[in-house]
Amino acid sequence: MDAMVRELSYAQAIQEAMAIAMEMDERVFLMGEDIGVYGGAFQVTGDLVERFGTERVIDTPISELGGAGVAVGAALTGMRPIFEFQFSDFVTLAMEQIVNQAAKMRFMLGGEVSVPVVMRFPAGSGTGAAAQHSQSLEAWLGHVPGLKVIQPATPYDAKGMLLAAVADPDPVMIFEHKLLYKMKGPVPEGYYTVPIGKADIRREGRDLTIVATSIMVQKALDAAATLEAEGIDVEVVDLRTIRPMDKQTVIDSVKKTSRLMCVYEAVKTLGIGAEVSAMIAESEAFDYLDAPIVRLGGAETPIPYNPELEKATVPQVPDIITAARDLVKGVR
């Protein structure tokens, strides 16, 4: 590794991105429950209140609908708010402001306004937080025209995509898997962006394309390492952006490998994998397929509190290995 490139945790990368954005542009400010002195439910905002003051790091009342409304209104006046939800599950309380207001204002007003708001959602299972604090709801927001929905899977992308989101004129929803917050990786100093709407090939392969999102990218890479020892060469595509989706990268990969598996933590039915599968079925890549497409998603159940049951409801590395092996060997 280049000695000039530091390693930061995913959470540190996000905090650094917010600090850089606030230093560069006085219109950028933070909002959210307990993000001030407490530093955020997952300690992501850290000491930013000490650095920037309470007028730019604002503790909001316990009202997601109210907070989202303030953020959308501030964006309409030219500010660039970053609004943190304590848990992604609480987006359900703010859907009116996100879906009916933020997503539609530019369209309904003929492009005369923009809504440059960023909303951050700690998402996913694995912390023992049970059914109301462990969901993966990114497909809900990905269904809405006017929103951009991203899922950074590495510290590098977390920083670069957040900075790209702050600069974007449209509302950007960032889903951050809670188990990734402690993950460390190389993160350059200073300002850089990672483009929204562009997937990344994390590992090249010839036998099977795995399209993964968020924490499932790392699990897919771990599975690929095991499968390599068996002579199965897996290509791992990190989707990174749910909307707008980078269709061409996925199409090109499937045309090369002739097999596709979609791996995501959210409930399988109507999830991101369904959209990817349909997109391939409607594209020229369909004629290249040597086997049916496989979706490996979460179980059709709320997330349990019991840790072993919790693990069983979402794909794990052994599940990916088994499904990939069966797909390549023609068991499915």
pLDDT digits (tens, 9 = 90+) for 81-109: 999 999 999 999 999 999 999 999 999 99
Model confidence at 238: pLDDT above 50: yes
Q: Is 96 a catalytic residue?
A: no
Which of 16, 33, 133, 275 is catalytic? The answer is 133
- pLDDT reading at 143 higher than 80: yes
- Residue 1: the pLDDT is 47
Give 262-289 pLDDT, tens digit per residue.
999 999 999 999 999 999 999 999 999 9
For residue 174, which of 190, 146, 152 has the smallest C-alpha distance? 152
Please state which CATH number belongs to domain 200-329: 3.40.50.920
Catalytic residue among 64, 84, 235, 275: 64
- Domains of the chain: which residue ranges? 6-187, 200-329
CA distance 90 to 88: 5
Known catalytic residue: 143? no
Q: pTM (2 decimals)?
A: 0.95
What gap in Å lies between CA 169 and CA 242, rounded to an integer?
A: 18
pLDDT of residue 330: 83
- Give which of 100, 99, 67 is closest to 81, Cα–Cα: 67
In percent, the amount of the chain with pLDDT more than 90 equals 97
Fold type of domain 6-187: Rossmann fold (3.40.50)
Q: What is the mean pLDDT of the chain?
A: 96
For residue 214, how many other CB atoms are within 10 A of its CB? 28
Confidence of residue 5 (pLDDT cuts 50, 70, 90): confident
Q: φ and ψ at 312, to 5 degrees?
A: -70, -15
**Where does the pLDDT of residue 156 fall: very low under 50, low under 70, confident under 90, or very high at 90 and above?**
very high
CA angle at 242 for the pair 238 and 246, rounded to the nearest 5°: 65
For 175-217, what is each residue's pLDDT tens digit?
A: 999 999 999 999 999 999 999 999 999 999 999 999 999 999 9
Percent of the chain clearing pLDDT 70 (strictly above): 98
For residue 80, the 8-state DSSP code is E
How do strand 28-32 and strand 57-59 relate by DSSP bridges? parallel
Look-up: residue for tokens 């542009």? 25
Across 27-38, average pLDDT:
95
**What would the two tokens of residue 209 be?**
């394309």
Same CATH fold assignment for domains 6-187 and 200-329 = yes
- Residue 61 tokens read as 């009342």
